[in-house]
Amino acid sequence: MTSRTDHWQQAWGQNPQSKSWVQTSPALSLAMISACGLAKTAPILDMGGGASLLVDCLLDEGYRNITVADISETALQLAQKRLDKLADQVKWEIADACNWHPTQAYELWHDRAVFHFLTKANDRTAYKQRVYEFVPKGGFLVMACFTPDGPKQCSNLPVVGYDGASLAAEIGTGFALMDEQTELHVTPNGGQQKFQYTRFQRV
Taking the domains of the chain in order of start, what are their residue ranges?
Answer: 20-202
* SS3 category, 16: helix
Q: In a structure prediction context, what are the per-residue pLDDT tens digits for the chain, which is 203 residues long?
A: 468 888 788 877 666 676 666 788 899 999 999 999 999 999 999 999 988 999 999 999 999 999 999 999 999 999 999 999 999 999 999 999 999 999 999 999 999 999 999 999 999 999 999 999 999 999 999 999 999 998 898 888 999 999 999 999 999 999 999 999 999 988 777 788 899 999 999 99
Q: Are strands 44-47 and 66-70 parallel, antiparallel or unpaired?
A: parallel
Question: How far, in Å, are 101, 141, 151 from residue 179 at the CA level?
Answer: 28, 11, 22
Look at the pTM and tell me if it is higher than 0.75.
yes
Instruction: Report the C-alpha gap between 203 and 198 in whole angstroms.
Output: 16
Distance CA(190)–CA(186), nearest Å, equals 6
Superfamily for domain range 20-202: Vaccinia Virus protein VP39 (3.40.50.150)
Residue 14 contacts by C-beta under 8 Å, 6 or more apart in sequence?
none
Please tell me whether residue 109 adopts helix, strand or coil conformation: strand
